[in-house]
């Protein structure tokens, strides 16, 4: 695989164009986790998602890494799927973490990927990696987007 600036732009467009699929996954995950953790979590709009896609891809170093993992997952297919289960899980988890950002959001992105992955089932005509890709996008971007009360307050552990 060769990654050029044009290929990174192509992958960015694919990720942005997937908003109609990814945003409902984000909102389902947020609703479920909010209920589990007894908190209200704001829903995400397609406009917010696309704006955050733009922010990720505006950072060239981040963009090239995200684009590479997106491209691999888009193309990944293993006959019978099960033998490829591990590699698409590894790539999905790492993509969610990379999009999520620095700690603790990075680790939360990884953890949320596994939850989101249980909610996503790909279409029969898509490569096996696409459902993991959609789950990774949902997990990673939902970490970056506002809506969790704990991320919008001063940490009680900050040392002055």
**Contact by Cβ (8 Å): 106, 96:** no
pLDDT at residue 80 tops 90:
no
Distance (Å, whole) CA 110 – CA 37:
18
pLDDT of the residue at 81: 61
pLDDT of the residue at 83: 66
What mean pLDDT is predicted for residues 143-149? 88
pLDDT of the residue at 88: 87
Assign 82 a pLDDT band (cuts: 50, 70, 90).
low
What mean pLDDT is predicted for residues 55-68? 97
Least trusted range by pLDDT, from 17-21, 122-126, 129-133 = 122-126
What mean pLDDT is predicted for residues 56-72? 97
Listed by start position, the domains of the chain span 5-148
Distance (Å, whole) CA 60 – CA 62:
5
């Amino acid at each position: 695989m060769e990654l050029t600036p044009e290929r990174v732009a192509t992958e960015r467009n694919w990720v942005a164009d997937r908003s109609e699929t990814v945003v409902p996954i984000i909102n389902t995950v947020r609703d479920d986790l909010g209920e589990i953790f007894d908190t209200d979590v704001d829903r995400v709009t397609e406009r917010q998602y696309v704006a955050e896609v733009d922010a990720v891809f505006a950072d060239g170093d981040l963009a090239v890494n995200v684009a590479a993992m997106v491209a691999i997952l888009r193309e990944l297919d293993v006959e019978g799927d099960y033998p490829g289960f591990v590699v698409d899980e590894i790539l999905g988890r790492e993509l969610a973490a990379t999009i999520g950002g620095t700690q603790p959001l990075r680790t939360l992105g990884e953890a949320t990927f596994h939850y989101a992955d249980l909610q996503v089932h790909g279409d029969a005509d898509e490569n096996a990696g696409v459902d993991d890709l959609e789950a990774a996008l949902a997990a990673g971007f939902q970490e970056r987007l506002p809506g969790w009360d704990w991320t919008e307050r001063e940490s009680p552990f900050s040392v002055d």
